[in-house]
């Protein structure tokens, strides 16, 4: 049933665990209240955070908490996790309700990111920490490589501010909008540099959204500067 997914994961996970990890609350509601992936998501979020924190602690021994914390947020923000889920084609296997199906729920960043965290929880339950860490580190390797290449600043907002200064541009300014109920808010941040508005970034917190938006602006400005 999930052979294609386990092949992409590179590790076998029991079908019943995968099914639970992929069951969104919208599907549960329509199916009469069957268990959802939210408990696994809660567990996976903690495991994921520990794996990433441990790796950053080892990779960047000279950074203090004020630098490590935003760097961690940049590596495991909602957009980054959703992209990993897309690479794994997780959306094809999600169990979502008809309402979410009708509104492209299989490709929503929030649903994909939460499901990936639940998947981490499932892998952890069956295979333990060491094997889970190995899988997670393979997923986040590109993000860690990017972070290393950003130099001393590391987090995207600081990197963008330093880049705009080097390019004699205006200081970045952020516009924030929020949506959703209090227990499940989403935030969208847009970066303005002078009169130019850059693509928006999203996240589960204001800081996460700002980091995502800053990274998009940083990548665009870096690409432009290299072409000159």
Rounded to whole angstroms, the Cα distance separating 48 from 140 reads 10
Rounded to whole angstroms, the Cα distance separating 40 from 36 reads 8
Q: Is the CB of residue 117 less than 8 Å from the CB of residue 50?
A: no
Which of helix, strand or coil describes residue 188? strand
Is 87 among the catalytic positions? no
Is 45 among the catalytic positions? yes
Tokens of 45: 């979020």
Q: Which of 19, 64, 92, 117 is catalytic?
A: 117
117 labelled as ligand-binding? yes
Which of helix, strand or coil describes residue 186? strand
Tokens of 66: 């004020």
Q: Which of 45, 155, 208, 210 is catalytic?
A: 45
114 labelled as ligand-binding? yes
Rounded to whole angstroms, the Cα distance separating 127 from 101 reads 32
Residues with a catalytic annotation lie at 45, 117
Q: What residues are designated binding site for Mg(2+)?
A: 41, 114, 117
Known binding residues:
41, 114, 117
């Amino acid at each position: 049933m999930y052979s294609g997914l386990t092949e992409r994961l590179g590790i076998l996970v029991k079908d019943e665990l995968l099914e639970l990890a992929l069951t969104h609350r919208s599907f549960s509601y329509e199916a009469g209240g069957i268990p959802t992936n939210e408990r696994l998501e809660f567990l996976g979020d903690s495991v994921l955070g520990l794996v990433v924190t441990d790796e950053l602690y080892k990779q960047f021994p000279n950074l203090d908490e004020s630098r490590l914390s935003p760097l961690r947020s940049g590596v495991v923000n909602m957009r980054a996790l959703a992209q990993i889920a897309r690479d794994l084609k997780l959306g094809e296997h999600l169990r979502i309700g008809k309402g979410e199906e009708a509104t492209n729920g299989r490709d929503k960043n929030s649903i994909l990111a939460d499901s990936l965290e639940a998947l981490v929880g499932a892998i952890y339950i069956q295979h333990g920490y060491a094997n889970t860490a190995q899988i997670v580190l393979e997923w986040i390797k590109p993000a860690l490589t990017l972070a290393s290449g950003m130099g001393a600043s590391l987090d995207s907002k600081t990197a963008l501010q330093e880049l705009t200064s080097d390019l004699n541009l205006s200081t970045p300014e952020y516009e924030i909008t929020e949506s959703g109920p209090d227990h499940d808010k989403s935030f969208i941040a847009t970066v303005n540099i002078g009169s130019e508005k850059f693509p928006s970034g999203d996240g589960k917190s204001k800081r996460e959204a700002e980091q995502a938006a800053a990274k998009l602006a940083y990548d665009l400005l870096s690409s432009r500067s290299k072409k000159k």
